Every structure is written in structure tokens, then in C-alpha cells.
Amino acid sequence: MKTYPVLEPVIGSREKEYVLDCMESGWVSSWGKYIGKFEETFARYVGVRYARTTCNGTVSLHLVMLSLGIGKGDEVIVPNFTYAASANAVLYVGAAPVFVDCEESTFNIDVGRIEERITPRTKAIMPVHLYGNPCRMEEIMRIARQHRLMVIEDAAEAHGAFYKNKMVGSFGVANSFSFFGNKTITTGEGGMVVTNSKSIAARVALLKNQAQPSNARKYYHPVMGYNYRMTNLQAALGLGQLERIKELLERKRKIRGWYEAYLEPLVERGIVTLQEETPGSQPSWWVNAMRFRTKSVPKLALHLRESGVDTRPFFLPMSDLPYMRQHGHFPHARRLARTGLILPSGANLEEKDIALISDRIKKVLK
Ligand SMILES: *Cc1c(COP(=O)(O)O)cnc(C)c1O
């Protein structure tokens, strides 16, 4: 029986050639030509002036917080339905994440509920483009302008997704991507800060490199820094991946289309509800996330697992985690967590795979 993991990296010969080049030249640590190349190519791809590599997407959010001067006493608005890294980055700098419920249809932050959570301490809004579906950026930018707040996009899951005519990662003042092994393109572990601000880019570059300015006396550190660097090996892999991102995204869009087609009978009967695309957007469909109307979703996941189809549950609401428990009205995030599953979505899947996976789902749900 063929089995299907949720995601697998797709790595080609170009990536191997670049990584081998690092190994043969000896430039395997965090100096070398691929770092600058990956940064320049990624910045151009997103449509921003600067990109700075980091060792993962959590750290790149931390660097954004630090470089924007967010700290103790500040609040940042974060969707309640997200990966813990989004809220953790706020906590790392001593600020407080303030959670807003998500929309049941798009799974993204409910823009109609942002303003009621703004206080005099609010410094920023952090939209997260969940599972590759862009947030309602026009609304979010308007609210931010009106209340003089910064916008920080967590675009970890949405490489190559568009809202109107702009790519995600080009709206906020400083934004973050991840290149973890299961993301749309990978460096194994890795992240990127993107921004149009020269001074923010410089601040990120300084802080991620143990605060060692390139022109200063060796071992003179003007402020406390971090080692949050990416290696040349990782950047080589990332550059190779970025050069084929179009093809990977095209396949992801096809996979979404195939799921729509093959699961339609279940959608018609209201048993399956797919994540809805945000109006005016072009999602990247990093994964296919859907809600199921069945007695027990964990049991459904178990049955699918037995038939060779791996799934992942949805995120738990941040407000339910012990170290950041928060009171509030979050019915949608809670319902999604109970009813959602992520289906196999790797860019190596073909139409016959999605047909087979859909058949197995139909068999379990009958
Ligand atoms: C993957 C991800 C991150 C960053 O994760 P890393 O594993 O640290 O690269 C941040 N936010 C979201 C929403 C993510 O999915």
C-alpha cells in the first residue's frame, strides 16, 4: 500500500550542485557567496529592498521584534489561531501578545475584531498568512495607519502568495519567512527577514551576528547580540529551491484544485469544508487544510493513518496554552482546532495520488 506523508521536500539537481560547491570550496559556515545571493534573489522575488538570512523562522521573528524596539510594556496583536512561534517572539522581548479570534472561513485573523483589542500599549499587529492564505491586508493596513501601529507579517507559510498585486511579505515594516523542511521552499532550518528599511536591515544584520559591526574593532560589541546566522550550505540549498519556486507553487495550486474536484461530493453534503481563499488574494496553498463534520476528528485521522494517509491536526488556540493563557471570545479558533485536519500536500504529489487519497477519505467517511 502506498503511504502519503503530509509534506516532503522536493530537492533537485541544482540544489545538489550548489551545496556540493560549498563543500568543495570549504565555505560551509556562515560566510560565503550563497548567503548574499540568496538574500538578493529573495528580496527581488518578494518585491522588497532588503532580505537578511537567519537560522530559522522563529529567530527571524525575534530579530524583527528586537529591531523594531518592541519590548517590556508593549502589546502586539496576534491571531489566536497560529503556530506558537508567532506569539513566542513577542514574549521573547518581554512584550505581551494580545489574541484575536480567526475567521471560520479563511482561518486568518478576524479583522473586524482587531480594533476592540487595541490599547495605548499596542505597538504592532502581526497578521499570519495561515497555510498560505493571505490575510485581508488592505483592512489591516488601514487599521494600522489609523491607530499608528506597525505591521509585522508572519509569512512563514506563504512564500509566493499574493494579496491584490503585492506579494505577502511586502506589506509590513519588517516581515518574516521560514525555510523549515516542510515549508514551500526549504533550507533544512532557516528563516529570512525582509524589509524596505535600510536601518532595520542593518539592525537585523548586526544583531544576528553577535552585534559585531563589520567595521569595528574585533570583539567590540556595542550592544548585546545573538548568533542567529544561516550557513552558506543552507543558503546554497535555499537559492536552488528559490530558482524553482514557480514550479513548486504551480504544483501546489494544482493539488488544491484536485482536492476540490475529488472531494466535491463530500463538500456538497457539508461533510468537508475547505479553507476559503481570501477575496482578492492568490493563496500559495502551502497545505490543504479542511474541516470535517464527523463524530471524532482524531478517530478519522487514525483511520486515515491506517489506510496510509498521514494528516496533521490544526493548531491549538494560543489562549489555551498554559504559559500564555488568555481570556477572550475565541469560538472560531477553538472550533477549528477540534474539526480541522491537514491532508498530504507535498509538491511531489500527482493527480492520481490526490484521487487515491480522496477515495480513502470517502471510504472512511462513507
Ligand atoms: C514555520 C512557522 C514559523 C517559523 O518556524 P521555524 O520552524 O522556526 O522556521 C513561524 N510561524 C508560523 C506560522 C510557521 O508556520
What does the pLDDT look like over 14-25, one tens digit per residue? 999 999 999 999
**For ligand 1, atom 9, which residue shows the shortest CA distance?**
57
What are the distances in angstroms from CA 283 to CA 139, 253, 256, 348? Answer: 17, 8, 10, 19
Atom of ligand 1 nearest to the CA of 176: 10
Report mean pLDDT in 10-residue bins for the chain, 366 residues.
Answer: 94 97 95 97 98 98 98 98 98 98 98 98 98 98 98 98 97 98 98 98 97 86 97 98 98 98 97 98 98 96 96 97 94 96 98 98 92
Ligand 1 close to Cβ of residue 178 (< 6 A)? yes
Longest CA pairwise span in the chain (Å) = 70
Look at residue 1 in the predicted model and tell me its pLDDT: 82
Look at residue 2 in the predicted model and tell me its pLDDT: 87
Ligand 1 close to Cβ of residue 86 (< 6 A)? yes
Look at residue 366 in the predicted model and tell me its pLDDT: 81
Atom of ligand 1 nearest to the CA of 180: 9
Nearest to 132 by CA among 170, 165, 164, 160: 160
Helix (H) or strand (E) holding 255: helix 245-262
What are the distances in angstroms from CA 171 to CA 136, 145, 319? Answer: 11, 12, 27
Ligand 1 close to Cβ of residue 357 (< 6 A)? no
Q: Report how far ligand 1's centroid is from the alpha carbon of 58 (Å).
A: 6
Q: Computed from CA positions of residues 15, 21, 23, 24, in that sequence, does the dihedral angle turn out positive or negative?
A: positive
Cell 504559559, residue located = 323
List strands edge to edge, sheet with 96-100. 96-100, 75-79, 122-125, 150-151
Which set of grid coordinates corresponds to residue 366? Answer: 462513507
Cell 568543495, residue located = 24
CA distance 86 to 287: 18
List strands edge to edge, sheet with 272-274. 272-274, 288-292, 340-343, 312-313
Domains and CATH numbers, the chain: 13-100+107-242 (3.40.640.10), 245-365 (3.90.1150.10)
Ligand 1 close to Cβ of residue 85 (< 6 A)? yes
CA distance 61 to 72: 16
Nearest to 184 by CA among 80, 292, 57: 57
Strands (E), 142-245: 150-151, 162-163, 166-167, 174-178, 191-195
Nearest to 103 by CA among 123, 143, 130, 132: 130
Q: Report how far ligand 1's centroid is from the alpha carbon of 57 (Å).
A: 5
Ligand 1 close to Cβ of residue 209 (< 6 A)? no
Look at residue 217 in the predicted model and tell me its pLDDT: 86
Ligand 1 close to Cβ of residue 154 (< 6 A)? yes
Ligand 1 close to Cβ of residue 128 (< 6 A)? yes
Atom of ligand 1 nearest to the CA of 189: 9
Q: Report how far ligand 1's centroid is from the alpha carbon of 184 (Å).
A: 12
Look at residue 215 in the predicted model and tell me its pLDDT: 79
What does the pLDDT look like over 91-115, one tens digit per residue? 999 999 999 999 999 999 999 999 9
Q: Report how far ligand 1's centroid is from the alpha carbon of 86 (Å).
A: 7
Coil, strand, or helix at residue 81? coil
pTM > 0.95: yes or no: yes
For the chain, the C-alpha Rg in angstroms (whole number) is 21
Nearest to 145 by CA among 165, 117, 174, 125: 125
Cell 487544510, residue located = 289
Cell 469560538, residue located = 331
Q: Which DSSP symbol is given to 29?
A: S
**For ligand 1, atom 5, which residue shows the shortest CA distance?**
57
Look at residue 36 in the predicted model and tell me its pLDDT: 98
